[in-house]
Structure 1
């Protein structure tokens, strides 16, 4: 009898779990694409935890931008953000960040991510703003000064990925299936 009282909530819990699983699939695709060696070898992104974070953030932004176009994807977009934050939390812990300061670090990561998402969104309409955002974020101060060719190639890459994601079916994306196109030199 007591279990029947919780029955209406179990379907909501299953739905949230299914949404999180789909978000994990999308996040895994973003991470796998962000690990492509060409970002670090040919295009000057620093092969460091910071550089890898930047590439993951860039690919998650591409997915979130596509999901924004789907009104029914708001929960999936939020779950994707939550999955990324959970992964960043775990990564910081593996780097030895103590439990005492982990909350502050995750808050800073979330604020930085939000700033990047806004800058990249603004950059879609303005190529110069996008170049500035990429230089500041994806390349950052540790990478030195990236060449204009590298920045333009990254902008072209982002536009190609955005177009490829836009061409993918909404049903596939909502199911957690996405296909990034290969990154060409």
Structure 2
């Protein structure tokens, strides 16, 4: 027979186990979503047809665009708020890992991470203002100012804006359950 202390420990252990299992499951979902985001950010058309530079910074821009689009979809949907935060955390962790792989010294990483986080949020604000207003032209201007190299033609910004708006629409058509399963397709 269990005494009160043992029963409490047993209940606490089960609760902690469920919490760890839930976190493990959430991590799997976020990892699946992030893998799909990375795959989308590697689409050759983004670099060949839409003007993103095929460089480390160009890849950052592509990831930023795709992470932003998911965050925009999650906004206003309470069931997706925690997922959105976990996705941002995963993105930041990936940036940190990538910098270290590129040889950035351990002492420099925090400073560079603050810089990249600032760049990310600056772009999110610029893209969001245009998308919320439904202004394709303003979105193209924001992309030209932040994501595209200066030598890129204006048509590239328009094509990238169209791409973003199309992706946004496809994500809006998905049910929240898709995101909660880690799936970006119907």
The normalised TM-score by structure 2 is: 0.88
CA RMSD of aligned residues (A): 1.8
The Cα shift of 1:174 comes to: 1.4
- How many pairs does the alignment contain? 177
Structure 1 residues 31-55: Cα deviation after superposition (integer angstroms, max 9, x where no partner): 1011011111122211000001100
Q: 1:23 aligns with which of 30, 40, 43?
A: 30
What is the distance in 2 between the residues matched to 1:20 and 1:135? 34
1:76 aligns with 2:83: yes
Checking the alignment, whether the CA contact within 8 Å between 1:34 and 1:55 is kept in structure 2 is yes
Structure 1 unmatched runs, 5+: 181-185
Gaps of 5+ in 2: 1-5
Pair 1:179-2:179 in alignment: no
Greater C-alpha Rg: 2
Are positions 1:127 and 2:136 aligned together? yes
Provide the rounded CA distance (Å) in 1 between the counterparts of 2:64 and 2:26.
Answer: 20
Moved more, 59-68 or 107-116: 107-116
Question: Matched residues in 1 for 2:91 and 2:9: separation?
Answer: 34
Q: Find the counterpart in structure 2 of residue 100 from structure 1.
A: 107
Deviation at 1:113, TM superposition (A): 1.0
1:168 corresponds in structure 2 to 174
Q: Residues 178 and 185 of structure 2 are in contact (CA less than 8 Å); yes or no, is this contact kept in structure 1?
A: no
Query: Which range moves more in the overlay, 107-116 or 93-102?
Result: 107-116
CA distance in 1, matches of 2:106, 2:46: 32
Q: Tell me the CA shift for residue 87 of structure 1.
A: 0.6
Q: Structure 2 CA distance, aligned partners of 1:10 and 1:16?
A: 10
Distance in 2, matches of 1:42 and 1:28, equals 23
Counterparts of 1:115 and 1:6 in 2: how far apart (Å)?
A: 43
CA distance, structure 2, for counterparts of residue 72 and residue 6 of structure 1: 27
SS in 2 for 1:179: coil
Name the counterpart of 1:45: 52
Instruction: Give 2:15's aligned residue.
Output: 8
**Paired residues of 1:88 and 1:106 also in contact (CA < 8 A):** yes
CA distance in 2, matches of 1:175, 1:92: 29
Alignment-derived partner of residue 145 in structure 2: 136
Q: 2 CA distance for matches of 1:147 and 1:49?
A: 20
